[in-house]
Amino acid sequence: MGHSVRSISTRMSTLPNAAFSISLDCQLDNVPGTLGRLCGAIGEAGGNIGALDGFDVRGPVLRRSLVVHCRNEEHQHAIVAAVQKLDGVTVLDWWDRTFRMHEAGKIEVISTAPVNDRDDLSMAYTPGVARICTAIEKDPLLSHKYTIRKNTVAIVSNGTAVLGLGDIGPEGAMPVMEGKALLFKEFGGVNGFPICINARTADEVVDFVQRIAPTFGGINLEDIKAPECFEIEERLRASLDIPVFHDDQHGTAVVTLAALWNSLKITGKKMEDLTVVIAGVGAAGVAIGKILLNAGIGDVIGCDRVGAIYTVRGDMNSAKEWFAANTNSSRKMGTISDVMKGADVFVGVSGPDLITAADVRSMAKNPIVFAMANPNPEIRPEQVDGLAAVMATGRSDYPNQINNVLAFPGIFRGALDAQATDITENMKLAAAKAIADSVSDDELTEDNIMPSVFDRSVSMAVAAAVAKAAIADGVSRLS
């Protein structure tokens, strides 16, 4: 049946969507018009039928299952109530399809070695396994060949900054980390293991990850709040000999740069001439600023809740102080609206409805707008129709989705293939270029600057580029 949980519908689209879809198992009188009345009632209640299963006729009645997209949880119940009122229709059962998908989790462990007889057992376990153990004892690097380290990444979170939800704790964060593991496997062939920990401080997280590191070939940090996330990643990169990658920072930065490179092909602008305004100077905003600087951007101006980031401004953490020292060369001050005037690019990684159409009009000719806040962007595409030369969001229901799934599976695939000890800036730039190049010149339009997130070839192209960069940078055990 339906589930009652803390609703987040106010932050979701007002249109029916799969995230709030339900399945209806209905019994209908086997007479003409009953199915039509059922579909009509759903439509009148604002539901969108996504699928109709086949009939199961049982004499005077028939059974039919329907998938209905709804707006939110309240809408789910309203649609069920509308169907229950129909004569000749009985709702036998209904369920929230998203909750059903998550039952018992979204991943599992499978064995890769046969155990069909005594010989198999003696090699996979005792006594044969002792030979592998002693070989690794003598040469610990063999663990990257003869254990799951070769293809396994730890997805570590303390649940303090879950996208769109905030600090919801490790248990609440677990479905997101499971989803991340699912995407690692689907798009990169990487085994990701979700590890949500009861740790609040940087010291606790660093200590934990250092202790589990011998099991994994890489560490993907996820949904850890700023500024602790910066310190945690920096300390782990210095202390471990496996790649450590905070996806909220660098995955977002990689796909943003890829989108910008392709946008420049459309607008004819040059990277070194651009002024970019970044709304939100947390984990993602700082990393985007860094990768844009490394790519040769003209200038970057960051804005937080207080306003523009500039040197000697008070109330800034160490990450923002670095940002201030390396950006905003003209020391612009004021609100987001103030600094957007004359800017070429807006990148939003903050919150919904932050800017207006008037702000976009104040930008330079042919402005590029990346409103990437999820689930609701800083400004919706329909509000800048005809104003922005290129408009992109983080959502799948608008053109030009800028999504991390284009980056992190391939980045870790390449790092693991190269047996990399780190993920360098050049490896990130190589990943961004591979993503951008996945959209051919013939395919490139203002509504198609990014490849499809379902195109498996993108991850493989990213992996190859990242592995090559790792070898060139001297961080590969193969070089």
Do residues 76 and 91 touch, judged by C-beta distance below 8 A? no
Provide the annotated active-site residues.
125, 180
> In Å, how far are 25, 31, 54, 66, 232 from 63, measured between CA atoms?
7, 12, 9, 10, 55
Quick check: helix, strand or coil at residue 96? strand
Do residues 193 and 153 touch, judged by C-beta distance below 8 A? yes
What's the CA gap between 324 and 311, in Å, rounded? 5
> In Å, how far are 148, 472, 474 from 479, measured between CA atoms?
22, 8, 7
> In Å, how far are 64, 189, 359, 426, 472 from 468, measured between CA atoms?
53, 18, 42, 10, 6
Kindly state the tokens that stand for 103.
């039952």
- Beta carbons within 8 Å of 314's beta carbon, 6+ residues apart: none
Quick check: helix, strand or coil at residue 56? strand
Which among 267, 273, 277, 284 is positioned nearest to 309, based on CA atoms?
277
For tokens 């949904």, name the residue: 223
What's the CA gap between 427 and 433, in Å, rounded? 10
Residue-level length of the chain: 479
Do residues 1 and 58 touch, judged by C-beta distance below 8 A? no
Quick check: helix, strand or coil at residue 261? helix
